[in-house]
Amino acid sequence: MKVVTGVVGNDIHVVANRLIELSLHARGFEVFNLGVNTYLEEFFDAVVETDADILLISSLNGEAEGWSREIKILKSKYKNLDNLVMVIGGNLVVGTASPETIVPKYKNYGFDLVFHQVDLNTGLDTLEEFLKERNK
């Protein structure tokens, strides 16, 4: 399966991004890594270009919320993205907030899976289970 991944917004934190690429690769995914500092349009363009099944966005500086608000509007401008699995993870808030408030918020923005300060492998295990369930 194909995954497009990258860090959203003006966020230059690259270490986890590289580790996500390595881990996805190790789990057998075909990875298209857009790296840090990536805008939403670039993510969706890459999904269309690569015909990806999954979009995995990450954020460390907490800016993701500001960007995520626009996802639905933007996504509606693209055709054939209805089956795209949308995942976001990292540190999803500036300051602190509990997952109970964050997860529903991001699901509302259009994400299927939301990982706020979740360990990388736990997150990817959950993703694989989600995909298995969906493809039954």
Partner 1 sequence: MSLLQEERKIILGNEYVDNFDFAEVEDFVKNASKDLFISYNFKTKNKMLVQPRGGFPTYKKQFALNKFFVEANVDVLPLTIDSNTRLNDYATAKKMLRLSEENEIDMLNGYPLVNHGYRTTRKMITHFNKPVSLRHGTPDARLLIETAIASGIFEIEGGPITYLLPYSKNFPLDKAFLYWKYVEKVCANYSKLNEPINRESFGPLTATLVPPAITIAIQLLEMLLSLEEGVKSFSVSFSQTGSMNQDIVMGAVIKKLAKHYANEINCDDTTINLVYHQWMGAFPTNKDFAEQLINMSTVIASMVGADKIITKTREEASGIPTKEANAKTVASTQYTLGILNGLPNIVDEEEEEILTLEVKAIMEAVFNDEADTLWRKVFNSIKNGTIDVPFSPHIINHNEMITIRDANKNIRIIKRGNVPISDRCFEYEKSKCDLTKDTTSIVNDIIHDIGIMQ
The DSSP-derived string for 46-98 is: HHHHHT-SEEEEEESSSTHHHHHTTHHHHHHTSSS-TT-EEEEEE--SSS---
Does position 134 interact with partner 1 (CB under 8 A)? The reply is: no
Question: Which one of 13-21, 60-68, 75-83, 90-98 is the stretch in contact with partner 1 (CB under 8 A)?
Answer: 13-21
End-to-end CA distance of the chain: 15
Can residue 4 be called a binding residue for partner 1 (CB under 8 A)?
no
Q: How far apart are CA 123 and CA 30, in angstroms?
A: 17
Identified binder of partner 1 from the candidate list 32, 35, 50, 53, rule CB under 8 A: 35
> In which residue are the tokens 């939403």 written?
40
23 binds partner 1 (CB under 8 A): yes
- Measured from the CB atom, the residue of 17 and 68 that comes closer to partner 1 is 17
Question: Is the Cβ of residue 30 or residue 76 nearer to partner 1 in the bound state?
Answer: 30
Of the residues 76, 101, 117, 121, which one makes contact with partner 1 according to CB under 8 A? 121
Region of 105 on the Ramachandran plot (φ > 0 left; ψ -120 to 50 alpha; else beta) = alpha
Residues contributing to the site for partner 1 (CB under 8 A) = 12, 14-15, 18-19, 21-23, 25-27, 35-37, 120-121
